[in-house]
Amino acid sequence: MNFEGKTAIVTGSGSGIGSSIAIKLAKNGADILIVDKREKEANEISDIIKKIGRKTLVSVSDVSDYNNCQEVVENCIKTFGHVDILVNNAGINKDGVIWKMTEEQWDSVITINLKGYFNYIRAVSPYFKEQNSGKILNITSINGLRGKFGQANYSASKAGIIGLTKTVAKELGKYNVNVNAIAPGLIETEMMKNADEIVKKQAMSDIVLNRIGQPEDIANAAVFLCSELARHITGEILKVDGGQYI
């Protein structure tokens, strides 16, 4: 897969799945705009990408800020001349059963996980329409497909991403823009490491392949869906979960 001459924006790319996707795209020739709230982590990934030999730009920003997302995309185009790929990955979780969940827990997860995706899709869409090409990849979760005890806010946000993906695929299809999503299962990230041990054991018992997924497993699928090999795929939700959903 060759991404020479392509520029990708990857949100939440300071660590975990996002950083793995950013690095994988760079290894295949793409220049990367790293979006993350954590400056240190974002700069560390930027250094890795520079060593690969690709151009990079860091935006330390909040995906929930609509105006800032517009500015980041405009800055990307001023710096690189164009934007070709958007990977929406930034997300948080603040778990709790529904009868104990606070308004802040609900609002913050929905705002980051769902509105943040809208903000960036809204920002890149006019440019993708104008150039009659583009790839949008949204990272959702198998819990957006099935629900998860103690994750009403997280599951609702991830289900919303699925609806957003399918709708935007219909709206942008005539402009030669592919819009897809990946639904990971249990992946070894910081978010997973901070999860309750009982939750992790239950998840492991559901994984048919009997191993915890790695960020690279998601990155491999992401690079394919962002490539021309997937030019006739749009509106799809690809589960990458070792059979956890079965």
For tokens 């079965």, the residue is 246
- What is the per-residue pLDDT for 50? 98
Alpha carbon of 200 to those of 10, 105, 147, 155, 195: distances in Å?
27, 21, 16, 17, 7
Q: Which two tokens stand for residue 137?
A: 């990849």
What tokens were used for 226?
């962002």
Q: Encoding tokens for residue 46? A: 């930027």
What percentage of the chain carries pLDDT values higher than 70?
97
Count of other CB atoms within 10 angstroms of residue 161: 25
Helices 215-225 and 16-27: crossing angle in degrees, nearest 10, is: 50
Q: So what's the pLDDT on residue 193?
A: 67
| Cα(135)–Cα(115) distance, integer angstroms | 19
Query: How many helices (H) and strands (E) in the chain?
Result: 10, 7
Query: What pLDDT band is residue 12 in, cutting at 50, 70 and 90?
Result: very high
SS3 at position 121: helix
Domains of the chain: 7-240 (3.40.50.720)
pLDDT at residue number 195: 66
Q: What is the pLDDT of residue 162?
A: 98
Q: What is the pLDDT of residue 189?
A: 84
User: What φ, ψ does residue 220 adopt, rounded to 5°?
Assistant: -60, -45
Size (the chain), residues: 246
In percent, how much of the chain has pLDDT > 90?
91
Active site residue 245: no
Largest CA distance in the chain: 51
pLDDT, greater one: 189 or 140: 140
Contact (CB, 8 A) for 225 and 8: no
The pLDDT of residue 97 is: 96
The tokens of 76 are what?
Answer: 């990307």
What distance lies between CA 144 and its chain's CA centroid?
14
Which structure tokens are listed for 108? 């913050």
Q: What is the band of 203 on the pLDDT scale with cuts at 50, 70, 90?
A: confident
- Return d(Cα 167, Cα 181) in angstroms, integer: 12
Rounded to the nearest integer, the mean pLDDT of the chain is: 95
What is the distance in angstroms between the CA of the first residue and the CA of the last residue of the chain? 30
- pLDDT recorded at residue 190: 75
What pLDDT is recorded for position 155? Answer: 97
From residue 30, alpha-carbon distances to 15, 33, 92, 209, 236 in Å are 18, 10, 26, 32, 23
Distance CA(63)–CA(74), nearest Å, equals 15
pLDDT of residue 198: 72
Residue 1: per-residue pLDDT: 83
Q: Which residue in 117, 120, 127, 154 is the catalytic one?
A: 154
**More confident position, 200 or 30:** 30
Q: What is the pLDDT of residue 37?
A: 96
Categorize the per-residue pLDDT at 67 as very low, low, confident or very high, splitting at 50, 70 and 90: very high
Three-state SS at 189? coil
pLDDT band at 223 (very low <50, low <70, confident <90, very high): very high
Q: What is the pLDDT of residues 87-133, one digit of tens each?
A: 999 999 999 999 999 999 999 999 999 999 999 999 999 999 999 99
pTM: 0.95
Does the pLDDT at position 200 exceed 90? no
Average pLDDT value for residue range 19-45: 98
Encoded tokens for 143? 């819990």
> What pLDDT is stored for residue 194 in this prediction?
65
Closest CA to 50 of 69, 71, 22: 22
10 Å CB burial of residue 194 (0-12, 13-18, 19+) is exposed
The predicted-structure confidence for 165-175, as pLDDT tens digits, reads as follows 999 999 999 99
